[in-house]
Amino acid sequence: MKVFVDGKYYDEDKAKISVFDHGLLYGDGVFEGIRAYNGRVFRLKEHIDRLFYSAKAIMLDIPMKHEELVKATVETCRRNKIKDGYIRLVVTRGKGTLGLSPFRCPKGSVIIIAGKIQLYPPALYKKGMEIITVATTRNLHNAVNPAIKSLNYLNNILAKIEALNVGKEEALMLNSDGYVAECTGDNVFIVKGDKIFTPPLYAGALYGITRGVAIEVCESAGWKVEETNLTRYDLYNADECFLTGTGAEIIPVVNIDGRKIGTGRPGKLSKKLIKEYHKLTNSTGEPI
């Protein structure tokens, strides 16, 4: 595997950063997870846009321009002969001192890794996923804003641990007001009657790229999507539920906290949405 680090390509075992990099020492940095399908990088511009938004929020200067990151991402895929795969694009604060001050890091570092990912077992996409609500609350907007896709993912990891400890692959996270925010790595949607609902971004949800694509696909098919605060009661009594994320794509949820959702099997709308999503991912994107 060839890994891009600050303008050069290294073999996997020689790709390194300093032990004084603030991304390692303090989780000070931002990242994007991106997918490639059928020889194209899907929604690359949108991912890099979000990377810059996250960086701006933490006052991190990315030492490359938008178009340079596009070219470097595609070239990393090309050098690794990626046709269908996963790309991790990371920008750290860079090498600094042992103190917290980010202003002692002269220059950020850019890392691009292109490989494979399997977030959930394939069988779950056919039979649906069972999830639980966990005690770990989603970060507050005035703490580490959930809109910032930062290298500090401990909030999500702690929730993931709670789920894995009881044999579940994913955890539902609530915000400080008790409303549904999102899962550890995915946005949440429910279907009730002829409408689709998803938590608003201010509820603590990431500005998901796949979330946005799912909304586009739904609306183009004539399905109305509403952003509204949701409680666990709303999810328990939904006709269908599904999650969206770059790594997860779109995956149905059939049980939450021991409550069967709908028929207890992936619903018709969820299955149709998955099919339409795959059509889109396999036909659009930045050519590799």
- Helix, coil or strand: residue 279: helix
In which order are the strands placed within the sheet that holds 286-287?
8-11, 2-5, 109-115, 85-92, 29-37, 40-41, 286-287
Residues belonging to the chain: 288
- Helix, coil or strand: residue 269: helix
Helix, strand, coil share (%) of the chain residues, nearest 5 = 30, 30, 40
CA 119 to chain centre: 11
Q: Is 149 a catalytic residue?
A: yes
* Pair 204, 175: CB distance under 8 Å: yes
Distance, in Å, from the CA atom of 180 to the CA atom of 182, rounded to the nearest integer, reads 6
Backbone angles phi, psi at 182, to 5 degrees: -170, -175
CA 276 to chain centre: 20
Angle, vertex CA 140, rays to CA 250 and CA 261, nearest 5: 35
Annotated active-site residue in 2, 95, 149, 168: 149
Mention every residue, 6+ apart, whose C-beta is less than 8 A from residue 251: 120, 124, 125, 128, 129, 186, 242, 243
The amino acid occupying position 9 is Y
Pairing, β 286-287 against β 40-41: antiparallel
Instruction: Please identify every residue annotated as catalytic.
Output: 149
